[in-house]
A and B are shown apart, each in its own frame.
Chain A
Amino acid sequence: MSESDATNALSVRNVVKQFGSGPNAVTALNNVSVDIQSNEFFTLLGPSGCGKTTLLRLTAGFEQPTAGEIFLFGEEIEDLPPHERPVNTVFQHYALFPHMTVEENIGFGLRMQKWSGPEIRARVNETLALVKMEQFATRKPVQLSGGQQQRIALARALAPRPKVLLLDEPLSALDLKLRQAMRNELKTLQRETGITFIFVTHDQEEALTMSDRIAVMSAGLIQQIGAPLEIYERPINRFVADFIGDTNFIETRIDQVSGNRALCVAGGELQFETDVVDGHGIGDAVTLAVRPERITLQKTMLRSKDMPVIEEATYLGTDTSYEINIGDGVVVTVRDQNAEAGMGRFAAGENVKLTFSDGAARMLVD
């Protein structure tokens, strides 16, 4: 029973997906396994071509895996056609039926499941209310704006109360303000309906703000699975650290080791203390990841060639970004919040003192 744990909404087991055959075969998914819990807002995050949409389409049934199994609440589904799977999809370009009204679009899934007329009407009205589109019931999709079409696509997929809702970059076609509003709304909808959402996006901000858990994907593999905080604070490798937010990568060597902690010296005399990964020992070359906002800048009266010096200051509105040479040709980016009006606190050419807490740096698995 461990293979198909029924408490998981979706279990993907060693799934491989290749397109084409022979020497031209492209591997979209390379032995992927993931468990998605019931009632979870789960995000597949990655750049285009990483396999996130392929995984979604395999779950919906539009593609068949080359190898591996997919379980939906313990039931093996990878061989079922799409119309026999109790999952619904919100398509990237909505795919609303142009010849049907909003009502008919939302009722389509119910009609195909042979619901009675009054039952369909009741559920359609209930779902229209859920997405706040009651007054558009008799319109055709072409008469709606992009944001409105988006809501109808959502309502159509939610109306049959699927066991899992699949969302394929549904916000990518909306403008920024609408996208931000829809994020909150999607999260609320997920909580209200209690349906498991599997959300595909390449937008890290979307993923961080909405998800219970995120799977970061790249090159057909899941690189890391975790809560947004975990993914951001403790990226497992260079790809994840680089893809989510901004990161300074500092190449250095381990100077001292005591227990599970290592001390690394970078640039002039900047000392970072981190957990040891991969069983590295003294003298090993390692990469440290440090977030730009985790380093604090302090004014200093000292002037010296060996001190960190600001090479460039870029005003960004909410904060200022500094390129700081910390010696030995190592340059780090530091973000400093603009607590007061005007340009940042420091100017190019100024010496500064860098401080950071123990957890600021993280040793990466390369």
Chain B
Amino acid sequence: MSEKTPKKRKGFVLGYYPGMNMWTLFFFVYLYMPMVVLVAYSFNDGNRAQIWQGFSTRWFYRAFINDDIQNAALNSLIIAVCATVVATVLATLAALVLARGGEFRGRSASLGMVTLPLIVPEIATAVATLSFFAIIGFQLGMLSIIIAHTVFCIPFAFLPIRARLEGMDTDLEQAAGDLYANAWETFRFVTLPILAPGIVAGAMLAFIISVDDFIITLMVSGAGATTLPLYIYGMIRQGITPEVNVISTVMLAISIAFITAYWFISARGDTVKGH
């Protein structure tokens, strides 16, 4: 067996083919080019977004003192925080039942059903949510956006929490019970602290999904409930200004910060898993 291994490496492997690393480079350029352009032009000094006229941070200042942008950003923040908190609590409870509640009828079906909304076309969810609100006569506004966001945040919050719970040995909870902890104390002192990285990761994912959402928000937002993505869309319809680039860059930075933190928390969580 060991003699065969070096022979195999001499054979045709696409990865070793000359010029393949060029393709990889192209792949990354292709992937990141639009973002690089966006970020670069947010530092443009000129009044027109597409013509470079030197480096400046003046549009950042302009964007930050803009009342409309401030309002939209505040709306986005309120919606994201509310949706994240509600979605994370519900997802944690669902994960606890589905991973620890033992066998019950429809257990595997419910697992699939929690994650199904992830692959449903967003426009379908958006139309469905709007129709639902219209049918029950619910007034559109901040509250309707928060409710809609909570719905699509749940599966995103659920996945990391459940993954964490599945990786956690039931022995640990039994050991706590064996050492005189009742059900609540077992949850409080053993399950919850070990689950915490999963919950934080789930919440961050839910938060970023909520902040970035456009289609569903567009459908269910009433007058006066403009979020940042909606505001950017509105501005672009009047032509791309450097201000749009600036807001987009800031949102991009926030997203990257959150996703990076998410990866760190997930990775750190793995090393705590125990034996």
Contact = CB atoms under 8 A, between A and B. Distances in A.
A93 B172 CA distance: 10
B19 to A, nearest CB: 45
> Would you call the interface of chain B mostly helix, strand, loop, or mixed?
helix
Contacts of A99: 193-194, 272
Contacts of A127: none
A11 B179 CA distance: 22
A365 B109 CA distance: 53
Select the residue from A62, A93, A99, A142 with max chain B CB neighbours within 10 A. A99
Contact of A91 (B171, B180, B194): B171
Interface in B89-140: none
A64 interface: no
Contact of A83 (B169, B171, B181): B181
Interface string A34-67: 0000000000000000000000000011100000
Given A141-B274, A142-B271, A149-B275, A95 B172 contact: yes
Given A93-B171, A94-B275, A60 B179 contact: no
B67 interface: no
A239 interface: no
Given A83-B180, A83-B181, A91 B274 contact: no
A6 B154 CA distance: 54
- Taking residues whose C-beta sits less than 8 angstroms from the other chain, chain A's interface range is 20 to 34
A156 interface: yes
Contacts of B169: 93, 95
B182 interface: yes
Contacts of B182: 81, 83
A160 interface: yes
A25 to B, nearest CB: 15
Contacts of B189: 108
B198 to A, nearest CB: 13
A47 to B, nearest CB: 22
A255 to B, nearest CB: 56
Contact of A95 (B175, B193, B271, B272): B175
Nearest to B274: A98
B3 interface: no
A162 to B, nearest CB: 9
Given A93-B171, A95-B169, A156 B179 contact: yes
Given A141-B274, A149-B275, A97 B178 contact: no
Give the bracket for the number of chain B residues in contact with chain A. 20 to 34
A91 B175 contact: yes
Contacts, number: 75
Given A83-B180, A99-B193, A160-B180, A89 B275 contact: no
A88 interface: yes
B200 interface: no
A361 B172 CA distance: 49
Contacts of B185: 112
A109 interface: yes
Given A95-B169, A108-B179, A112-B179, A62 B174 contact: yes
A194 interface: no
B190 interface: yes
A327 interface: no
B176 interface: yes
Contacts of A82: 174, 177-178
B273 interface: yes
Nearest to B196: A99
Contacts of B190: 97
Nearest to A166: B178
Contacts of A62: 174, 177-178
Interface in A74-102: 81-83, 87-89, 91, 93-99
B121 to A, nearest CB: 41
Contact of B274 (A89, A96, A113, A160): A96
A97 B180 contact: no
B177 A81 contact: yes
Residue picked from B169, B175, B181, B274, most chain A C-beta under 10 Å: B175
Interface of B: 169, 171-172, 174-182, 185, 189-190, 193-194, 271-275
21 contacts: A61-B177, A81-B177, A81-B182, A82-B177, A83-B178, A83-B180, A83-B181, A88-B178, A89-B175, A93-B169, A93-B171, A95-B174, A96-B274, A97-B175, A98-B172, A98-B272, A98-B274, A99-B193, A112-B181, A141-B274, A142-B272
Pick the 5 closest A-B CB pairs, nearest first: A109-B179, A95-B171, A112-B180, A82-B177, A98-B274
Given A62-B174, A99-B272, A160-B180, 10 more contacts: A88-B179, A91-B175, A93-B171, A93-B275, A96-B175, A97-B175, A97-B190, A99-B194, A108-B176, A112-B179
